[in-house]
Amino acid sequence: MTARVAKVFSEVLGVSAEQISDETSPDNTPQWDSMAAMTLVVAIEDEFDVTLSTAEIISMRNVEIVRKVLRTKGVADA
Amino acid sequence: MSLSDPAYLGFFIVVFVLFYLLPGGTARLLLLLAASLAFYFNLAGVYLAVLLFVAAVAYAGGLLLQARAEKRNSRVIFVAVLLAVIAPLILFKYLGFLCDSVSIALPESIARLALPVGLSFFTFAAIGYLIDVNLDLLKAERNPLRVALFVTFFPLVTAGPIERGGRLLPQLDLALPLSSDRALAGLRLIFTGLVLKVLFADTLAAPVAIVFGDPESSLPLEKFVAVVFFAFDLYADFAGYSLIAIGCANMLGIDVQPNFRQPFLSPNIPEFWRTWHMSLSFWVRDYLFLPLRAQWRRAGPKGMIGATLLSFTILGIWHGAGWQFFFYGLAFGVLAVGSLYTMKYRDAAYAALGVPPLVVRIIRAFITFILFALVLVLFRVNYLRDAWLFYRDIVSLDMLSNLWVTLKSGLFHQGAPLDLPVVSAYWADWFLIAAIVASDILVRNGVTLAKCPVLVQAVAYNVGLALIVYQWMSSSVAPPFLYYKF
């Protein structure tokens, strides 16, 4: 888990960065609700300067998948 | 053969025994598939062909979506596969309504088609599987028997829970040995489900049927009582069904997602939908709301409002073809949006007034329940005109007058009581409602029957079972579950 990814999730979800792991998902994090999900997407796009497709956004059901998507888009420190 | 029918339980016991006599793997897979097809044929006859068609499209479509060598035509293939899997739903459920709406007469052979039981449920399960494969979230299953069982699995085929391929397919190795713990846990769920359906739902259904069957003849207070009763009737009916379905699956070694989590304790409408018919609301969230929200993510509140309204409206229409279902969904969308955007002001108001958190929680749960029960009128009526009769009467001055006269005569023994046959004949049903609420509060706080002393459990199970058997013996036909019509 990189500090940059943890920081985005921590800021949007309002939880400490230490609580963010690859397994963090809407199922185990009540703060990751449908409102926060898109705030998260916009924050990720802005932070890493990428554009995510609808399919990529829907597939992002935990932090591990988010990192995988970012790495396929050339983000080295995801 | 409904899941609460004694005949179904006999059928299940035979399947259960054979299942554990057979070795794990293909033999058990074939047994469950044969049992599932026989169960559905018994319920729906020749409409079994529709179920098999949806299973075949899910299987072939999954492979096709996975096999696409290049992304160029993938969207065309995906749309074609989705249209194929959704075609029976359109034909059997929506075509008549669509043609009626634009005054086109359907050929009689099509107009007479009945709705295959569970069509909306197994179609949504298949659509979810195909979308997951298309998004590379799931590998397409290569064994046709496993896909067939995923779509047709008998405890779930009639009314869900709508399972995901990613959860169910990996469990279809069916190699688990018989476990007394799991069997007992499954039995407990089946027992609780039967209690909810046979003792609670079927009892509450009687006054509801009287008032909703002839809304013009009942007084406003009776309408309001019927609206409250119906909310609990539907909850006991569908949660009861879900527990029986999940319990049967558990006994066969298959974990199924829960469908209800004490919904009437929810403090607001968005939270309510995270605890009511969860498999459908999570399906709508993942496959409708999130894609829409993703598309409109930079549109600010407009994007959020648009995605919420559209998702809830489609959730409403999922229940049936008719304007009442359109408005049922739309009303929940409006309430959800209203709740989301007024939340912080309401929080601030309660804080400024110094209302204790527990009281706030109770007020919120009560308001959420009343809103839900009122919208549910649209779900229960056959025509919008009937819903209007309910709403007109419930918000009328006559309603207040009914309440006042009833309270005055009942509590203070002043004046003659109103003639409210439904209210007076079914007053004991309020105890059932109190029992449901009390039980949900206990479960939410971690108190379940399984954790009670053995003596308490023994009394509860024996009395419950005796009452269920008595109910079975006193009615010739087990009333079907309310969600069978979807």
DSSP state string for chain A:
--HHHHHHHHHHHTS-GGG--TT--TTT-TT--HHHHHHHHHHHHHHHT----HHHHHH--SHHHHHHHHHHTT-TT-
Instruction: Calculate the CA dihedral of residues B38, B40, B46, B47 and round it to 10 degrees.
Output: -150
Tell me: the pLDDT tens digits for B393-426?
A: 888 887 787 778 777 776 776 766 667 777 777 7
Phi-psi region of B160 (alpha: psi -120 to 50; beta: other; left: phi over 0): left
Q: Could you tell me what percent of chain B has a pLDDT over 90?
A: 57
Six-digit token string for B372: 């839900």
Q: Do A59 and B137 touch (CB under 8 A)?
A: yes
pLDDT above 70 (res B156): yes
Determine the distance in angstroms separating the CA of B122 from the nearest CA of chain A, rounded to an integer: 22
Q: CA nearest B400: which of B226, B230, B219, B228?
A: B219
A50 at interface of B, judged by CB pairs closer than 8 A: no
Using CA coordinates, name the residue in chain A closest to B287: A58
Average pLDDT, stretch B34-40? Answer: 97
pLDDT one digit per residue (tens) for chain A, 78 residues: 688 899 999 999 999 998 999 999 887 888 888 778 888 999 999 999 999 988 888 888 889 999 999 999 988 877
Report DSSP state, residue B384: H
With cut-offs at 50, 70 and 90, classify the pLDDT of residue B137. Answer: confident
Scanning the structure block, which residue is given the tokens 């799991």?
Answer: B182
Six-digit token string for B407: 């309270």
Cis peptide before B357 (omega within 30 of 0): no
Handedness of CA A9, A12, A18, A23 (dihedral sign): negative
Q: CA nearest B186: which of B13, B43, B31?
A: B13
Distance from C-alpha of B82 to C-alpha of B78, rounded to nearest angstrom: 6
Report DSSP state, residue B68: -
Tell me: the pLDDT tens digits for B275-298?
A: 999 999 999 998 999 889 888 888
With cut-offs at 50, 70 and 90, classify the pLDDT of residue B387. Answer: very high
Alpha carbon A40 to chain centroid, angstroms: 6
Tell me: the pLDDT tens digits for A22-40?
A: 999 887 888 888 778 888 9
Distance from C-alpha of B256 to C-alpha of B253, rounded to nearest angstrom: 10
With cut-offs at 50, 70 and 90, classify the pLDDT of residue B70. Answer: low
For B:314-343, CB contacts with A below 8 A are 340
Between B30 and B104, the higher pLDDT residue: B30
Q: Treating both helix axes as pointing N-terminal to C-terminal, what angle do B180-194 and B220-251 enclose, rounded to 10 degrees? A: 160
- Phi/psi for B114 (5° steps) reads -85, 160
Q: What is the pLDDT of residue B76?
A: 87
| Chain mean pLDDT for chain B | 89
Average pLDDT, stretch B240-263? Answer: 95
Size of interface A-B (CB pairs under 8 A): 39
Question: Could you tell me the pTM of the whole model?
Answer: 0.88
Residue B441: C-alpha distances to residues B318, B430, B437 (Å): 30, 17, 6
Using CA coordinates, name the residue in chain B closest to A56: B135
Domains and their CATH numbers in chain A: 3-72 (1.10.1200.10)
Q: Do B291 and A54 touch (CB under 8 A)?
A: yes
With cut-offs at 50, 70 and 90, classify the pLDDT of residue B110. Answer: confident
Average pLDDT, stretch B12-36? Answer: 94
Alpha carbon B296 to chain centroid, angstroms: 29
Scanning the structure block, which residue is given the tokens 């959420």?
Answer: B368
Tell me: the pLDDT tens digits for B193-235?
A: 999 999 999 889 988 998 998 888 888 888 999 999 999 999 9
Q: CA nearest B437: which of B366, B380, B355?
A: B366
ipTM of the complex: 0.79
B304 at interface of A, judged by CB pairs closer than 8 A: yes
pLDDT above 90 (res B102): no
Q: Do A34 and B289 touch (CB under 8 A)?
A: yes
Contacts of A34 (CB under 8 A, 6+ apart): B270, B285, B289, B290, B293
Within 8 A of A25 by CB-CB distance, chain B residues are: none
Distance from C-alpha of B285 to C-alpha of A61, rounded to nearest angstrom: 12
Contact (CB, 8 A) for B213 and B457: no
* Structural Rg of chain A based on CA atoms: 11
Contact (CB, 8 A) for A65 and A5: no
Q: CA nearest B196: which of B246, B137, B249?
A: B246
Q: What is the pLDDT of residue B397?
A: 81
Contact (CB, 8 A) for B94 and B123: no
Scanning the structure block, which residue is given the tokens 């409210």?
Answer: B420
Q: What is the pLDDT of residue A1?
A: 65
Scanning the structure block, which residue is given the tokens 């690859």?
Answer: A22
Report DSSP state, residue B406: H
Average pLDDT, stretch B226-247? Answer: 95
Using CA coordinates, name the residue in chain A closest to B133: A59
Using CA coordinates, name the residue in chain B closest to A40: B297
Alpha carbon B252 to chain centroid, angstroms: 22
